[in-house]
Amino acid sequence: LRSEEAFKAGHLPGAKHVPADAIASRIEKLKLDPKNPLILVCETGVSSRKAITEVQKLGFAEVGALDGGVQAWRAAALPLVK
């Protein structure tokens, strides 16, 4: 749920880019299976928490947000890909 520039600068392995302001239309285009868990990630964890309800309305039952977002991921020295 970050800008395209931020996503390209480094994102979690396997992540798909979906801008926060277009979450509903972009998630539908990804054709994800709503039976599978989905983890939303933004820079700090705030935007992803706000988006959980919207994504649940799209039929995803198991939706969570990465606490602390990419900032926490970096702080834990976990890998990012470009």
Query: Which active-site residues does the annotation give?
Result: 42
Instruction: Enter the tokens of residue 53.
Output: 């309800």
Question: Residue 6 in contact with residue 76, Cβ under 8 Å?
Answer: no
Cα distances from 61 to residues 30, 58, 82, in angstroms, run 17, 9, 30
Question: Residue 65 in contact with residue 48, Cβ under 8 Å?
Answer: yes
